[in-house]
Amino acid sequence: MDPIFLNAEKRQSKLGTLEDAAAMIKDGHQLAFGGVHSHNGPMALIRQIIRQGTKDLHMIANVSAGMPADILIGANCVDTVTVCYVGMEHLGFAPRFRKAAEEKRINIIDGDEIYYVLGLKAGAVGMPFVPHPPGHEARDNPIFEKTYKRTTDPYTGKEIIVSPAIQPDVAIIHVPRADIYGNVVHLGSVVADDLLAKASTHTIVTCDEIVTNDSIRADPRRTTIPGHYIDMVVQVPYGAHPLSCHGIYNHDEDHIKSYVKGDIDAYLQEYVFGVKDHFEYLEKFGIEHLMGLREQI
Amino acid sequence: MTDAHNNPDYAIGELMVSAIARQMGNHDHDWAAVGAYSQLPMASMKLARMIYAPNMWWLAGGGGAINSTSKLVQSTSDHRVMRGAEYMMNMEDIVDIEMWRYNRGREQVVGVVGGIQIDRQGSCNMVAVGDYENPKVRGVGTVGLAFGVSFTLVYFFTMHHNKQVFVDTVDFVSSVGHTKKRAEFVPPACIGPQKVFTPLGVFDFVADSPDTKTMRVVSLHPGVTLEEVQDKTGFDLIIPDNIAETDAPSELELTLIRDEIDPDGILKTLRISR
């Protein structure tokens, strides 16, 4: 039986549009995004960010970033990128990241999984920095990357390596399901989506399906991120395409291959600037193609 | 002598999967991780669990699946890898276990990883070829190779064996090999790279000074000569008196690979070059 909310009408929906969401991301922001490789990236929102002409982003590329990082760089939205991994997995290097890096058109902060994950953890709980265990002195990241610092461990008196806390201005994640209050249900890999929501000042969720609050309360053990971390929820069917949305559809490998091989300006013209919204983007692929990507686990 | 690269009975990828799986027989009850772009080690972990290490735990890359029994797919973080898995790790889980040595020492934590450059001493580079400030090739980033100083040990695999991959000294140390700096800074419980599996052979590391080690030939794949492997390596390998031929995959291994692990034949399509 449903509980009685005497003030139920006062509980506010967090629903917004892609335009509302993109407008939260300002020039110069630190922008983090969720997912991993060709999976669970908020691609529709990223296309909207490009469409609105956002500039000078400091992109906190996800732990293993592919097309979302590459296309933002290719569209000249990015000034600085915190790199753990930016590549296309079995499809090779991320071509626009590589070119921009080799031409020195972007600033690169060369972290790694410890820098990124423990940095976000520190950001989430307000710790000022991350002390690294011994051994990392033998690697080059703390030598070449200047955001690593050294300090003295007050307990042992030994010199230790530290890296900064990471607190993105805005995190954007794509998930299969959420309710209008921001309660999120993943149907596959969470990766660092939950950590991003905790560490970031604002978090925007795009989702393939809006579910009822009743369905969330029917089994709270399935909720992967509680809604209090979430600022806005946007329903965007196929919002991860051409990446996968775990539990609903596979990644569109042929399309991602053509993105890697093709000309970035022609791609942006055809799939970002040349369509008025997300549904016109989807229409370019057609129902048969999109339905063919669906696969449950 | 047969030639592993032109053998009608098995693909070179299948031979490498067999060799890595047999190595994982040393790690029953241990914990192993593979990264991205890892069809070969992913298949090896599945084969090892079936034959050589039924108690081994393994992580399929950034997707977080533990002990997946799905058929082989291209991406380690594809949601189809979840099939048959026993747990899905998030990134905090992954970092916790990959730095596990600092918590307890009851089992070995093993990484099976690749790199854009691997050097004589087993250091590995994923960041930049050439000068760091003016890179000739900008790589993908250090990613999980950071754990090279917290994993108990590391095995390398490569899809190519040439002088671009195997260099005398890497241009950027993402993961540290058997260098003087390792001897100075890395806790001794972390013993570093142990073997390298390439399309030409299997290699290990032996002491060339009190503090450092160099790569040594262990076995060559059928049809590969010592001249070829030295010619395609950018430093002088240590050559032992006896060099074995890498064992060909067994009938049982090939049946399991083809019927259970990789029914779609992904291993046969990998661009592996000698």
Tell whether A157 and A176 lie within a shared domain.
no
Tell whether A64 and A190 lie within a shared domain.
yes
- ipTM of the complex as predicted: 0.95
Which of these, B156, B155, B148, lies nearest to B114 by C-alpha position? B156
Tell whether A66 and A156 lie within a shared domain.
no
What totals of helices (H) and strands (E) does chain B contain, helices first? 7, 15
CATH of the domain at A26: 3.40.1080.10
Asked if residue B102 has pLDDT above 60, the reply is no
Q: Convert B6-30 to b/e letters by CB count within 10 Å (16 or more is b).
A: ebeebbbbbbbbbbbbbbbeebeeb
Contact A64 B143 (CB under 8 A): yes
**pLDDT tens track for A48-96:** 999 999 999 999 999 999 999 999 999 999 999 999 999 999 999 999 9
**pLDDT tens track for B173-229:** 999 999 999 999 999 889 999 999 999 999 999 999 999 999 999 999 999 999 999
Tell whether A21 and A105 lie within a shared domain.
yes
CA distance B53 to B58: 11
Q: Count contacts between A and B (CB, < 8 Å).
A: 190
The answer to the question of residue A28 being in a domain is yes
The answer to the question of residue A1 being in a domain is no
Identify the sign of the CA torsion A131, A80, A202, A278.
Answer: negative
Nearest CA distance, B172 vs chain A (angstrom): 6
pLDDT of A23 reads: 98
Contact B140 A86 (CB under 8 A): yes
Specify the pairing of strand B109-113 against strand B117-119. Answer: unpaired
Tell whether A205 and A148 lie within a shared domain.
no
Looking at the structure of chain A, the number of domains it has is 2
B-facing residues of A in 134-163 (CB < 8 A) are 134-141, 144
Range of the structural domain that residue A144 is part of:
129-164
Tell whether A246 and A142 lie within a shared domain.
no
- As a whole-number percent, the residues of chain B with pLDDT over 90 amount to 91
Under CATH, to which class is B4-269 assigned? Answer: alpha beta
Q: How confident is the model at residue A248 (pLDDT cuts 50, 70, 90)?
A: very high
The answer to the question of residue A38 being in a domain is yes
Quick check: A69 and A81 in contact, CB under 8 A? yes
Q: pTM for the whole thing?
A: 0.96
The answer to the question of residue A91 being in a domain is yes
Burial of residue B152 (CB within 10 Å: 0-12, 13-18, 19+) is buried
Tell whether A51 and A78 lie within a shared domain.
yes
Tell whether A47 and A100 lie within a shared domain.
yes
Tell whether A203 and A159 lie within a shared domain.
no
Tell whether A87 and A224 lie within a shared domain.
yes
Tell whether A141 and A254 lie within a shared domain.
no
Q: Kindly list the residues from chain B whose CB atom is less than 8 angstroms away from the CB atom of residue A198.
A: none
**pLDDT tens track for A127-185:** 999 999 999 999 999 999 999 999 999 999 999 999 999 999 999 999 999 999 999 99
Contact B79 A247 (CB under 8 A): yes
**How many residues would you count in chain B?**
274
The answer to the question of residue A172 being in a domain is yes
Tell whether A134 and A180 lie within a shared domain.
no
Q: Kindly list the residues from chain B whose CB atom is less than 8 angstroms away from the CB atom of residue A94.
A: 140
Contact A250 B80 (CB under 8 A): yes
- Give me the residue from B132, B148, B184 closest to A144, CB to CB: B132
